[in-house]
Structure 1
Amino acid sequence: MSTATVAPVAHPHLLDEDLLVSTPRPLRVVAPARRRRPRVAYAVVAVIGALLIAGAQMGLSILTTQSTFDISSVAQQQRTLNLQKQVLNDKIMGLTSPQYLAANAAALGMVTGQSPSYLRLSDGAVLGPQRASNATSSLDALGNGSVPNALIATTPLVSNAQATINGAIAPTPAPAASAAAANPATPPALTDGLPTPATH
């Protein structure tokens, strides 16, 4: 076996003197690198952004709450209008009832004939008794056999504002009663505490 000789590697930058003799270098104080000051602009932008987000959330919350109150108010108005519509429909149903129409016709002097007469168009002949009706109606729409209509019990007739379907004079409401009738949703006024039922 042969022994390999290791030759020193020569660096082109280093001279032989540098390899043999090393001179001590003087020590220097190495200060830590100065920390950068945080920029004020970044902090200002961050604070303004946070304030804008908080303000936007507050504004949306206020708008949502306001719209909730508006919806509640409109729903209350809708309920009131539905009740008024129902009252008006009841009045219309009463005014178009056969009893009210018959009472108004009788108050105007109209009578119901017993047997009607007919005119035949082909030859112009009149069929039937051909006589005028009596002063009284043959049918009594408001008689004992009819069912009373509570919707029109106090409604005045068209021809006479003081008469009702029963023939009575329409009562004039007292001032306190008219206020209660104008707003039927309000409870009666309490003068002596809560009302109690009579037990005896």
Structure 2
Amino acid sequence: MSDNLARNDLAATGIGWSALPEAPETPAERRLRAVLPGAGAGMRRKPKLVYALISLGALGAIVVVQLILSVGLSHGAYQLDALQTQHREFGWQRQALSNDLASISSPQYIAANAEAIGMTLGGTPAYLTLSTGEVTGVPAPGGAVKQGPSSLIPNSAIAGEPLATKPDASVVNPGAAEVAIATGPVSLDGGLPSPTTR
């Protein structure tokens, strides 16, 4: 009955039995056989000596290039370290020169140089009123300066520095008098010692 239904379906679509694909043939069964130890040697070739030498040469070239790169990088690291050391030394030298410049541009150093070339502090000023022609104040000539003005504080950074105007002379006791430094044990009974402020 199913055969009749199949024929009817084929007749309705207009396809005959000849248009249907044929069933594939089953291939003949392959037989496995054992291979003798000497029989497979002809099929498999031994690697040639040339290929082995090329592989070893490539490996050697890679090692040599790696060593050259490593030496080059380490040489660059030594140069970088030397440049950083030089940069640090230049920084210290710059700081020392900045300190020297600050000390020789201080008011105490300028006053000591002015005294060395004969400049004096001005005396009492007098003022002239132009409209009346009247002189206010008593003019007095300036005198020699034995010590810097009282407004200058001591500057120990320039003590012993040579003067710019007289290189054979040096700054002696710049500014005001030296401040006495107390020595000895400090008592902590009343708390920490501190300066008196106003």
**Range with bigger deviation, 125-134 or 33-42:** 125-134
Give the match for residue 30 of structure 2: none
Q: CA deviation at 1:101?
A: 0.2
Q: CA deviation at 1:47?
A: 1.0
Residue 46 of structure 2 is aligned with which of 37, 52, 56? 37
Q: Which amino acid aligns with 2:155?
A: N
Q: Which amino acid aligns with 2:100?
A: K
**1:133 is the counterpart of 2:141:** yes
Q: CA deviation at 1:155?
A: 0.8
Instruction: Give the Cα–Cα distance (whole angstroms) in 2 for the partners of residues 126 and 41 of structure 1.
Output: 119
Q: Which amino acid aligns with 2:56?
A: V
Specify every segment of 5 or more residues in structure 2 that has no aligned partner in the other structure, as ranges.
1-37, 175-198
- Over the aligned positions, Cα root-mean-square deviation in angstroms equals 3.5
**Range with bigger deviation, 97-106 or 142-151:** 142-151
Q: Which amino acid aligns with 1:82?
A: G
- TM-score, normalised to structure 1, is 0.55
Equivalent residues in 2 for 1:31-180, closer than 5 Å: 31-34=39-42, 35-115=44-124, 133-136=141-144, 142=148, 146-166=152-172
Q: Secondary structure at the match of 2:115?
A: helix
Runs of 4+ in 1 over 3 A off after TM superposition: 30-33, 114-120, 125-133, 143-146
Q: Which amino acid aligns with 1:65?
A: S
Instruction: Give the Cα–Cα distance (whole angstroms) in 2 for the partners of residues 117 and 37 of structure 1.
Output: 119
Instruction: Give the Cα–Cα distance (whole angstroms) in 1 for the partners of residues 134 and 84 of structure 2.
Output: 62
Q: CA deviation at 1:37?
A: 3.4
CA contact (8 A) 1:115 1:128 kept: no
Q: Which amino acid aligns with 2:153?
A: V
Task: Summarize the Cα distance change of 1:165–1:126 in structure 2 as closer, same or farther, 3 Å threshold.
Answer: farther
Q: Deviations over 1:48-92 (max 9, x none)?
A: 111111112111211221122111111111111111111111100
Q: CA deviation at 1:40?
A: 2.9
CA contact (8 A) 2:159 2:173 kept: no
Specify every segment of 5 or more residues in structure 1 that has no aligned partner in the other structure, as ranges.
1-29, 169-200
Instruction: Give the Cα–Cα distance (whole angstroms) in 2 for the partners of residues 153 and 65 of structure 1.
Output: 49
Task: Summarize the Cα distance change of 1:107–1:55 in structure 2 as closer, same or farther, 3 Å threshold.
Answer: same
Instruction: Give the Cα–Cα distance (whole angstroms) in 2 for the partners of residues 55 and 142 of structure 1.
Output: 75
**Range with bigger deviation, 60-69 or 34-43:** 34-43
Instruction: Give the Cα–Cα distance (whole angstroms) in 2 for the partners of residues 83 and 142 of structure 1.
Output: 32
Q: Secondary structure at the match of 1:113?
A: coil
Query: Taking every aligned residue pair, what percent have the same amino acid on both sides?
Result: 29
- TM-score, normalised to structure 2, is 0.55
Instruction: Give the Cα–Cα distance (whole angstroms) in 2 for the partners of residues 119 and 54 of structure 1.
Output: 95
CA contact (8 A) 1:111 1:133 kept: no
Q: Which amino acid aligns with 1:158?
A: A
